[in-house]
Amino acid sequence: MPSVRLSEGDFAPYQGGVWRVIEGQFRSATMRIVDTDAEQAVLEQVLEASKPPVPEECRHLDYQFWLPFRYGCYPRASRFRRAGPTPGVWYGAEAPLTAICETIWGKLAFFAASPGTALPRRPIEHTAVRARIKTPFALDLTAGHMRDRGNWTDPDDYTDCLALADDARAIGGEAIRYASVRAAEPGINVAVLRCAAFAQPRPVARQTWHILLRQGLVRAHCETTRSSHMFVPGPSGLLPAA
């Protein structure tokens, strides 16, 4: 358990743009198995009916915002979300490149856990979406009064972070601001705990990225800004390629 005992006085207002990355192939999976737009619409309706309902407090939001809150049961823990039956968390970052690094690390972890799965041969398109977040009930783990009250940046042990998220939810917390462990350069992440923290129901900006995974090297290109980046995997996060 973390040493911190949260009170409402630990919360502070937070507002800003926060980026999250999703694969650009979210619709192509169904397009490949039908012949017309009408057939695709029917298939997606059938698939939608088989899924859990979207939580009431999230239904006014774009699906890219409510999706992490839908299922409520997860096979593995993440930094602020427990395994098993647990409330969802929308993870994002204040800078799009930080969000890309987090996404890349997640993909590398997936392939490392499945050594028989081949890396994609081609770059994979991703979309970075920017949400407008505004809440009076945020915890800033980079602030002086919170920085040393728990182990918030361990690359593998989420014990303190999970206990903190439980306590934050119990007294109305809506977001947690914290340092990225995976980004190649210092960056800030934001974990949204409640849909009430979204100030706008739809993304306010988008970027198109392509990610190419290779053994020992990752390349990321942003079509929107015409910028390119290369990384190598480190022990617990990405490093800039020489």
**pLDDT tens for residues 187-234?**
999 999 999 999 999 999 999 999 999 999 999 999 999 999 999 999
Structure confidence at residue 183 (pLDDT): 98
Tens digits of per-residue pLDDT, 16-58?
999 999 986 555 556 667 768 786 777 767 766 668 899 999 9
Mean pLDDT estimate for the chain: 92
pLDDT in tens, 78-128: 999 999 999 999 999 999 999 999 999 999 999 999 988 999 999 999 999
pLDDT recorded at residue 1: 46
* Amino acid identity at 142: T
Between CA 196 and CA 235 the distance in angstroms is: 36
Going from the C-alpha of 186 to that of each of 25, 101, 142, 180, 238, the distances in angstroms are 29, 11, 12, 7, 11
Half-sphere exposure of 73 (CA within 13 A, CB side): 3
The three state secondary structure string of the chain is CCCCCCCHHHCEEEEEEEEEEEECCCCHHHHCCCCCHHHHHHHHHHHHHCCCCCCHHHCCCCHHHHHHHCCCEECCCECCECCEECCCCEEEECCHHHHHHHHHHHHHHHHHHCCCCCCCCCCEEEEEEEEEEEEEEEEECCCHHHHCCCCCCCCCCCHHHHHHHHHHHHCCCCEEEEECCCCCCCCEEEEECCHHHECCCCCCEEEEEEEEEECCEEEEEECCCCEEEEEEECCCCEEECC
Extents of the domains making up the chain: 8-240
d(CA 199, CA 89): 16
